[in-house]
Amino acid sequence: MKILSTCFSLLNIILLVSCGETKTPETQLQASPDSTQFFSTGSFFEEQVKQVILLKKPVFVYHNINGVQDSALLDSVQFVQLVQEFRAKDISNANDKKNYRETVFQDAGTNSYTLSYTAVNHKAPVQGVDVLLDEQTNQVKRIFIRSFTRKGDTSIQEQHNWRAFKGFQINRSFSVPGGYNRQERTEVKWNKTSDGE
């Protein structure tokens, strides 16, 4: 009798756990309304490029592929080609923004407002964008873009990070079934500072 009682208790626990909360259409993340004005990262990147070219700043690139490092001085054409990766990930146009939800929050620790865009369509290549704005000036401090794509059996995770008026970084991780992994980091700087970055 004790065994039967224990089995019945276990069955109830299993049923309770398996009947846990499921997401209904009302609780799933929904896209922002059409009237929501998304921050145009493409326009911001274009302005940054214009400034670098106008001020004729030297632009340095540092590559690291699986620990092997290389560096070079970029000309303006090469610089614009690398920035194009960021501009291509702008989600502010009407066709793309329907796949994202905007949230805004204040971060007292960094004296910033963060505009956060999260994909509601998990098949969208850009999975998220965070724009940090200075609390006092509303000027962009940083932009973070997370994306995920598949090419054949290769999964590619990317993190594009932009530091306003200073430079950017592109981190990529390639992985395939069976364990092969490749890590790449490209860092571009045009305003070297003495703050260690």
In this prediction, residue 116 carries a pLDDT of 94
Give the domain extent around 141.
38-189
Q: How many domains does the chain have?
A: 1
Decide if 102 is inside a domain: yes
Predicted structure pTM score: 0.78
- Considering the domain boundaries, does residue 90 fall inside one? yes
pLDDT value, residue 29: 58
What per-residue confidence (pLDDT) applies to 28?
54
pLDDT at res. 6: 37
In a domain, 196, yes or no: no
Contact 98, 28 (CB under 8 A): no
Report long-range pairs for 31-39 (Cβ below 8 Å, ≥24 apart).
31/97, 31/98, 31/99, 31/100, 31/101, 31/120, 32/97, 32/100, 32/101, 32/102, 34/94, 34/98, 36/97, 36/102, 38/91, 38/92, 38/97, 38/100, 38/102, 38/117, 39/92, 39/115, 39/131
23 found inside a domain: no
Q: What's the confidence (pLDDT) of residue 179?
A: 82
Question: 118: which strand partners?
Answer: 101, 128
Residue 195 lies in a domain: no
* pLDDT per residue of the chain (197 residues) written in tens, 0 to 9: 444 343 334 334 333 333 443 443 444 555 555 546 789 999 999 999 999 999 998 999 999 999 999 999 999 999 999 999 999 999 998 888 889 999 999 988 888 999 999 999 888 999 999 999 999 999 999 999 999 999 999 999 999 999 999 999 999 999 998 888 999 999 999 976 434 44
Q: Are 142 and 86 in contact (CB under 8 A)?
A: no
User: CA dihedral in degrees (36, 110, 185, 118; nearest 10)?
Assistant: -30
Residue 114 lies in a domain: yes
Measured CA to CA, the distance from residue 112 to residue 137 in angstroms comes to: 10
